[in-house]
């Protein structure tokens, strides 16, 4: 099962550095996910001149991530890091020393990412993790894109955490 939404909605979350957001679509409006995501990528790219690393459509069209970095060197460093480590299933299960070292180093790599946009076949949402936006600026960006695409996209302050949405099979609606 996956979370379901009675209408399009979004929520923003403050984090230590920057902000996160989740933009949720009715399953019948899932065609808007890609147009919204692509417009979001375009606007961040134009505003920042960051370097974009993307993985789009594997294994399904919906499974995609887009990472924004300050420089090409950051991307090269990230790629070298992931090619150096080969963490296996047993490392993960038994939380081996190699796995713990990988997780520790991976946190450093993640700090190089200035913004991240994710879509998945598991839900009809666009996830945004950004260290360059405040909660207010991210909310304004979402509203602007929704207006451009003529999508009704109200903010739902009653939504739980992103994890609690994505990992649920609940139905969400805006309380009036």
pLDDT digits over 96-137, tens only?
999 999 999 999 999 999 999 999 999 999 999 999 999 999
Rounded distance, CA 86 to CA 174, Å? 44
Residue 87 has a pLDDT of 87
| pLDDT for position 176 | 58
Kind plus residue range of the DSSP H or E element containing 172: strand 171-172
What gap in Å lies between CA 73 and CA 10, rounded to an integer? 34
| Pair of tokens at residue 23 | 């933009």
- pLDDT tens-digit series, residues 52-106: 999 998 888 889 999 999 999 999 999 999 888 888 889 989 999 999 999 999 9
Proportion of the chain above pLDDT 70, given as a percent:
98
Mean pLDDT over the full length of the chain? 93
CB atoms within 10 A of CB 8: 20
What's the predicted TM-score (pTM) here? 0.90
How many Cβ atoms are within 10 Å of 129's Cβ, its own excluded?
Answer: 20
CA distance 33 to 23: 9
């Amino acid at each position: 099962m996956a979370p379901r939404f009675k209408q399009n909605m979004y929520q923003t979350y403050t984090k230590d550095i920057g902000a996160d957001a989740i933009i949720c679509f009715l399953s019948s409006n899932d065609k808007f996910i890609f147009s919204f995501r692509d417009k979001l990528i375009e606007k961040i790219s134009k505003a920042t001149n960051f370097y974009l690393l993307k993985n789009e459509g594997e294994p399904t069209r919906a499974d995609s991530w887009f990472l924004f970095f300050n420089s090409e060197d950051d991307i090269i460093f990230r790629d070298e890091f992931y090619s150096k480590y080969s963490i296996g299933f047993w490392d993960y299960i038994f939380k081996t020393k190699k796995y713990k070292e990988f997780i520790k180093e991976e946190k450093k790599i993640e700090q190089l990412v200035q913004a991240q946009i994710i879509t998945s076949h598991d839900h009809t949402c666009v996830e945004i993790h950004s260290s360059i936006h405040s909660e207010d600026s991210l909310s304004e960006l979402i509203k602007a894109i929704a207006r451009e695409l003529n999508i009704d996209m109200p903010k739902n302050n009653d939504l739980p955490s992103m994890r609690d949405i994505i990992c649920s099979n609940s139905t969400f609606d805006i309380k009036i």
